[in-house]
Chain A
Amino acid sequence: MEGCPRNKETYPKLLDLIPQGRQWYQEEKNNTDQEKKLELRLAPPGGDEEGRSAINRKITEIRNSNIKKEAEDKSIFNLSGNHSSPSNKTTFAPHISHKRTAPGPVVGWPPVRSFRKNLASTSSSKLGNESSLGGQVNKSGDGEKQVKPSKREGMFVKINMDSVPIGRKVDLDACSCYEQLSFAVDKLFRGLLAAQRDTSGGEGEEKPIIGLLDGNGEFTLTYEDNEGDKMLVGDVPWDMFISSVKRLRVIKSSEISSALRFGCSKQQKMRT
C-alpha cells in the first residue's frame, strides 16, 4: 500500500461507477498522479488482481435488482446535490424516510451490555458531575432482565462500613426518604457484617442493622458532602441531602466524634 498522503487536505475521490450520462459527481480538475494512486477506486492501487471485466460483472450483479428506480434516483440525486460541493460546510440533513429516529434515549443504544451501563452512571456521580441518565436493570423474581429507562436520573453513591472490607453502592434515587435509605443500608450490609463476625466459615447469625439515624444503634450513618465535610445523615431535608451527598459511611456509634473529625484526611489520602 502506498504511504500516507503528503497533502493532508486532499480527500480521496468518489467512486466513478455511475454511467457517464448522469452528472452525479463533479470531478475535480487537478488530479495529480499521486492523488490518482490514492483514489478509492475499483482496483487495488498499483495492483491488478481483479480484471476490469470481473469488476464490471460485479457491478452489474450488485446493481441488478428489481426495485423501483424512480424513487431511488431521486434520492441519489439529492445525495449528489450535497456531494458536489464538498467544501460546503452545511450539515448534511438526513432525509431518511423512516419515522423511527427518536431524539431521546433509544432502547438498546448504545450497544453496551447492561452491567456496563451501571458502571457509567456510578463513575460520573463520583466525579461530582450531574448523574448521567442510566438505565436500571430490573430484576424481578422470575429473572426478567429488561432495561427500563429510569424516570429520574439514577444516583449511585459508594457506601462503606466499619469492619467490613467490602464497599457497596446504593442507589439514592430508589429511596425517597431517610427511612428507606436506612433499610437499604441494612439490606446491603447485613449479610456482609454477619460473615465478617463469624470468620470460622459457618453460618453467622444475621442481625438487622438498625438505629442508623437516631444514634441508638450500634452503628450510625454518616456522609461526605460535596465540600468534603463529614456529616451525620438525617440533619437536613432529604432533597438537600441528595443534592450534596457524595459518599456514605456506616461507622460505629461509639466512634462518632473521632470519625467525623479525623476521618477526613485519611479519606483524602485514599483518593489520590
Chain B
Amino acid sequence: MNYFPDEVIEHVFDFVTSHRDRNSISLVCKSWFKIERYSRQNVFIGNCYATSPERLLRRFPCFKSLTLKGKPHFADFNLVPHGWGGFVQPWIEALARSRVGLEELRLKRMVVTDESLELLSRSFVNFKSLVLVSCEGFSTDGLASIAANCRHLQDLDLQENDIDDHRGQWLSCFPETSTTLVTLNFACLEGETNLVALERLVARSPNLRSLKLNRTVPLEALARLMACAPQIVELGVGSYEDEQDSESCLRLQAAIRKCTSLRSLSGFLEAAPHCLSAFQPVCHNLTSLNLSYAAEINGSHLIRLIEHCKKLQRLWILDSIGDKGLEVVASTCKELQELRVFPTDLHGGGNAAVTEDGLVAISAGCPKLHSILYFCQQMTNEALITVAKNCPNFIRFRLCILEPHKPDHVTSQPLDEGFGAIVQACKNLKRLSVSGLLTDQVFLYIGMFATQLEMLSIAFAGDTDKGMLYVLNGCKKMRKLEIRDSPFGDAALLADVNKYETMRSLWMSSCEVTLGGCKRLAQKAPWLNVEIINENDNNRMEEENGYEGRQKVDKLYLYRTVVGTRVDAPPFVWIL
C-alpha cells in the first residue's frame, strides 16, 4: 500500500490536523494506523468515560495536547448533581507517570482539584497552555502552583469556571523571570487580586495578546494595564465604575487609542452605563464583542457603540438591545457570523425586549450569519420560515422561547412548520435547539431533512414515541441527543439499540422511560454505560422489585464506551 517511506507519509499527515480526519486516516490500513498514531499531536476525547488514560497512552505515545470533556451539556443548567463525575485527577496521574511531553491541556465540564493542578504543574517541563471551561473543584491555590511552576506558560485561560477564590497572592506567584504569557483570562474569579503584581506581570509580558480581567480590577488599574500592553488583541474589562471625565477615564481613553491591534472586547462585569463611549476609537476594528454580562448598560448605549462596529463577526449581547437594536446590528454588521442574544428577564415578565422581528431583521441583514443562539418570549412560524429563506447557511440554530409549550403567538399553532422550514433550508445544520409548542411533526421534519445534524436539544416537546423515533431513524450523523420533559418512553429508547454505538451520548430527563426499559437496553448493549441518576430516592428503585419495571426514571444518561462501567460513580448514580 505504501509507495513512499514512512517519513514522507508522516510529513503528509502533518497537514491533516482535524482529529476526525486523522481518525479516518487511521482506518485506511495497518501501516497508516501505525504512522498516524505515532505522529498525532493533538488528541481530542469528547467523553472522558468513553476511554481511559491507559488506552490513550497506549495508542498515542507522542501527543502534546489533550482535550477532555466530562459532564454532559445539561450540567450547565444544574441538571447533573454535584459529585456525578468527570474527575481529571486519574488522567493527570497517568500522564505524569508516563513520559508524555504534555504541553497543552484543555478541559470542559470536568472536576479539577488543586492537587491535580499542582501535579500538572510539576510533571511536564514544557507545559505551555491550560484552558479550563466550565470546570469546578479547585481554588486559587491551584492557580498559584501553575503560575509558580510552569516556566514556559503561555496560556492560562479560565472560562466560566466555579473557582474557590482564596483572595491570595496567586498572581504574585509568577516568577519575575516569567515573560512568556500570551493569554491571561481570570474573568470568572470573584475575589480581589494583587493589582501591583498584575501590572508588573503584564508589563514584562511582551507577547501578551489576550487579557481578561475580573470584576475586582477597577478602572484606574485598567488604564495602567492598557498603557503597558498596547499590543493587546483581546481585552476583557473587569469593572468600569467611574464617573465620566474622571482622570482614570481620560487616561484609559488615551491608552485605548494606542491599542491599534485590539479586535475583541468583552467583560464589563461591573459597568457604568456610559463606559462604552471610551471604546469608540477602536470599534471600527472590532471583530468580536461580548457584552452579555453587562446588565447595567441599556439599549441605547449598546446601539451607539455597535453602529460603528462594521467589521463585527461575533456578537454576544443581552436582549436589552431590543428589536430596534438588532435592526441596527443588521444594517451595520455585514460581516456578522455568530450572534447570541441572552435574556435579562428570565420569567417572561412582560418586558418583551426582543421578538421574532429582531430575528428576522438579523437574518435579512447579515448574509454571513451561520450560528445563532436566541432567547425570546414569542415566535411565529412565519418569522421562522422567513429566517430560513434569508439564511440557508446556518450551521448552529438554537432558539429558546422562555415559556415552555408556547405556540405561535399569532396563529396559536405549534411551531412545527417554522422549525421544519429551518431544517429543510439549512442543509449544513449541525446543531439545533428547539422550543415552544411542538408536536411529533417537527421531529418528522428533522428526521427527514436534517441530514448533517450532530447535536439536538429538545425540551417540553413532542407527543409520542414517534417523535424520538423519527430523529433516531432519520439523523444519520447524530452524535449528541439531549431531551428533557418530553413524552418519549421505552419504545423509542429500545427501537434501535445499535444506533447508540454511532452516537457519543444520549440524555433523557423527566421523560417516560422506565427502569425496566433501561435495564433491557443495558442488557442488549453491553458496550454502553447506561446511567440512572436518582438523587432523591437512592434505594427505592432497588427495593420495589415488583414495580420497578414500570418505575419512571428521572434522569438517564447513556454513552458508548470501550472501557466498561466506570469505577468513580457516586451512590446516586446507578450504572446498569
In the complex, A266→B245 CA distance in Å? 13
Q: Find residues 498-545 in chain B having any chain A CB closer than 8 Å to their own CB.
A: 510-512
Of B82, B400, B405, the residue contacting A110 (CB under 8 A) is B400
In the complex, A14→B485 CA distance in Å? 26
A-B contact count (CB 8 A): 222
Q: Which residues of B contact A3 (CB under 8 A)?
A: 389
Q: Which residues of B contact A71 (CB under 8 A)?
A: 464
Is A269's beta carbon under 8 Å from chain B?
yes
Is B196's beta carbon under 8 Å from chain A?
yes
Q: Find residues 237-287 in chain B having any chain A CB closer than 8 Å to their own CB.
A: 239, 241-244, 270, 272-274
Q: Find residues 81-124 in chain B having any chain A CB closer than 8 Å to their own CB.
A: 81-82
Stretch of A114-122, A171-179, A209-217, A237-245 at the chain-chain interface = A114-122
Establish whether residues A1 and B392, one from each chain, have CB atoms under 8 Å apart when the complex forms.
yes
- Could you give, for residues 83-102 of chain A, a 1 whenever the CB lies within 8 Å of some chain B CB and a 0 otherwise? 10010011110111110110
Is A144's beta carbon under 8 Å from chain B?
yes
Stretch of B50-58, B216-224, B326-334, B566-574 at the chain-chain interface = B216-224
**How many whole Å from A144's CB to the nearest CB in chain B?**
5
Q: Find residues 396-418 in chain B having any chain A CB closer than 8 Å to their own CB.
A: 400, 402, 404-405, 407, 411-414, 417
Establish whether residues A112 and B343, one from each chain, have CB atoms under 8 Å apart when the complex forms.
yes
Establish whether residues A146 and B420, one from each chain, have CB atoms under 8 Å apart when the complex forms.
no
Is B211's beta carbon under 8 Å from chain A?
no
Establish whether residues B219 and A165, one from each chain, have CB atoms under 8 Å apart when the complex forms.
yes
Of B76, B381, B495, the residue contacting A65 (CB under 8 A) is B495
Closest A residue to B402 using CB positions = A110
Question: Given known contacts A62-B474, A146-B81, is B417 in contact with A14 (CB within 8 Å)?
Answer: yes
**How many whole Å from A204's CB to the nearest CB in chain B?**
11
Of A95, A100, A123, A126, the residue contacting B485 (CB under 8 A) is A100
Establish whether residues A65 and B78, one from each chain, have CB atoms under 8 Å apart when the complex forms.
no
In the complex, A115→B294 CA distance in Å? 12
Stretch of A127-135, A226-234, A249-257 at the chain-chain interface = A127-135
Q: Find residues 121-173 in chain A having any chain B CB closer than 8 Å to their own CB.
A: 122-124, 126, 129, 132-134, 139, 143-147, 160, 165-167
With a 10 A CB-CB cut-off, give which of B346, B411, B440 has the most chain A CB atoms.
B346
Q: Which residues of B contact A236 (CB under 8 A)?
A: none
* Count of chain B residues near A, Cβ 8 A: 98
Of A4, A111, A119, A123, the residue contacting B77 (CB under 8 A) is A111
Establish whether residues B386 and A4, one from each chain, have CB atoms under 8 Å apart when the complex forms.
yes
Establish whether residues A111 and B241, one from each chain, have CB atoms under 8 Å apart when the complex forms.
no
Is A40's beta carbon under 8 Å from chain B?
yes
Is B314's beta carbon under 8 Å from chain A?
no
In the complex, A86→B417 CA distance in Å? 12
**How many whole Å from A69's CB to the nearest CB in chain B?**
10
In the complex, A200→B194 CA distance in Å? 10
Of B78, B243, B273, B487, the residue contacting A145 (CB under 8 A) is B78
Q: Which residues of B contact A98 (CB under 8 A)?
A: 485-487, 510-512
Closest B residue to A82 using CB positions = B413
In the complex, A144→B80 CA distance in Å? 12
In the complex, A166→B220 CA distance in Å? 10
Establish whether residues B78 and A108, one from each chain, have CB atoms under 8 Å apart when the complex forms.
yes
Establish whether residues A62 and B444, one from each chain, have CB atoms under 8 Å apart when the complex forms.
yes
Q: Which residues of A contact B273 (CB under 8 A)?
A: 271-272
In the complex, A17→B197 CA distance in Å? 68
Q: Which residues of B contact A134 (CB under 8 A)?
A: 346
In the complex, A96→B458 CA distance in Å? 15
Establish whether residues A113 and B76, one from each chain, have CB atoms under 8 Å apart when the complex forms.
yes
Is B337's beta carbon under 8 Å from chain A?
no
In the complex, A14→B239 CA distance in Å? 52
**How many whole Å from B324's CB to the nearest CB in chain A?**
18
* Count of chain A residues near B, Cβ 8 A: 85
Is B430's beta carbon under 8 Å from chain A?
no
Is B439's beta carbon under 8 Å from chain A?
yes
Q: Which residues of B contact A192 (CB under 8 A)?
A: 192, 216
Is B437's beta carbon under 8 Å from chain A?
yes
Q: Which residues of A contact B469 (CB under 8 A)?
A: 62, 65, 67
**How many whole Å from B397's CB to the nearest CB in chain A?**
15
Establish whether residues B220 and A94, one from each chain, have CB atoms under 8 Å apart when the complex forms.
no
Question: Given known contacts A2-B389, A79-B463, A98-B485, is B400 in contact with A143 (CB within 8 Å)?
Answer: no
Is A61's beta carbon under 8 Å from chain B?
yes
Establish whether residues A143 and B82, one from each chain, have CB atoms under 8 Å apart when the complex forms.
yes
Establish whether residues B404 and A132, one from each chain, have CB atoms under 8 Å apart when the complex forms.
no
With a 10 A CB-CB cut-off, give which of B216, B392, B439, B462 has the most chain A CB atoms.
B439
**How many whole Å from B121's CB to the nearest CB in chain A?**
21
Establish whether residues A115 and B160, one from each chain, have CB atoms under 8 Å apart when the complex forms.
yes
Establish whether residues B219 and A201, one from each chain, have CB atoms under 8 Å apart when the complex forms.
no
Is A12's beta carbon under 8 Å from chain B?
yes
Q: Which residues of B contact A17 (CB under 8 A)?
A: 444
**How many whole Å from A240's CB to the nearest CB in chain B?**
25
Establish whether residues B463 and A96, one from each chain, have CB atoms under 8 Å apart when the complex forms.
yes
Is A58's beta carbon under 8 Å from chain B?
yes
Q: Which residues of B contact A96 (CB under 8 A)?
A: 462-463, 487
Is B174's beta carbon under 8 Å from chain A?
no
**How many whole Å from A216's CB to the nearest CB in chain B?**
27
Q: Which residues of B contact A8 (CB under 8 A)?
A: 382
Closest A residue to B469 using CB positions = A65
Closest B residue to A269 using CB positions = B243
Is B167's beta carbon under 8 Å from chain A?
yes
Q: Which residues of B contact A112 (CB under 8 A)?
A: 77, 342-343, 346, 375
- Could you give, for residues 189-222 of chain A, a 1 whenever the CB lies within 8 Å of some chain B CB and a 0 otherwise? 0011001000111000000000000000000000
Q: Which residues of A contact B407 (CB under 8 A)?
A: 91-92
Closest B residue to A72 using CB positions = B464
Closest A residue to B425 using CB positions = A1
Question: Given known contacts A62-B473, A67-B465, A166-B239, is B162 in contact with A108 (CB within 8 Å)?
Answer: no
Of A106, A111, A146, the residue contacting B76 (CB under 8 A) is A111
Is A262's beta carbon under 8 Å from chain B?
no
Of A1, A92, A100, A114, the residue contacting B78 (CB under 8 A) is A114
In the complex, A106→B463 CA distance in Å? 20
Of A116, A120, A143, A200, the residue contacting B136 (CB under 8 A) is A143
Is A264's beta carbon under 8 Å from chain B?
no
Closest A residue to B463 using CB positions = A75
- What residues make up the interface of B, taking CB atoms closer than 8 Å to A? 74, 76-79, 81-82, 136-137, 160, 162, 164, 167, 191-192, 194-197, 215-216, 218-220, 239, 241-244, 270, 272-274, 292-293, 295-296, 320, 342-347, 349, 375, 381-382, 385-386, 389-390, 392, 400, 402, 404-405, 407, 411-414, 417, 420-421, 424-425, 433, 437, 439-441, 444-445, 447-448, 457, 459-460, 462-466, 469-470, 473-474, 484-487, 491-492, 495, 510-512
- What residues make up the interface of A, taking CB atoms closer than 8 Å to B? 1-4, 8, 11-12, 14-15, 17, 40, 42, 44, 58-59, 61-62, 64-68, 71-72, 75-76, 79, 82-83, 86, 89-92, 94-98, 100-101, 105-117, 119-120, 122-124, 126, 129, 132-134, 139, 143-147, 160, 165-167, 191-192, 195, 199-201, 266, 269-272
Report the 3 A-B pairs with minimum CB-CB distance, sorted nearest first. Answer: A123-B295, A201-B196, A108-B77
- Report 6 cross-chain contacts, Cβ distance below 8 Å, ordered by A residue: A67-B465, A71-B464, A92-B413, A108-B74, A108-B77, A201-B196
Beyond the given A15-B441, A96-B463, A112-B77, please list 20 additional residue pairs across the A-B interface where CB-CB is below 8 A.
A1-B425, A2-B389, A4-B389, A11-B417, A40-B445, A79-B439, A86-B411, A92-B412, A97-B512, A98-B485, A98-B487, A100-B510, A111-B400, A115-B160, A120-B344, A126-B296, A143-B82, A146-B78, A191-B192, A192-B192
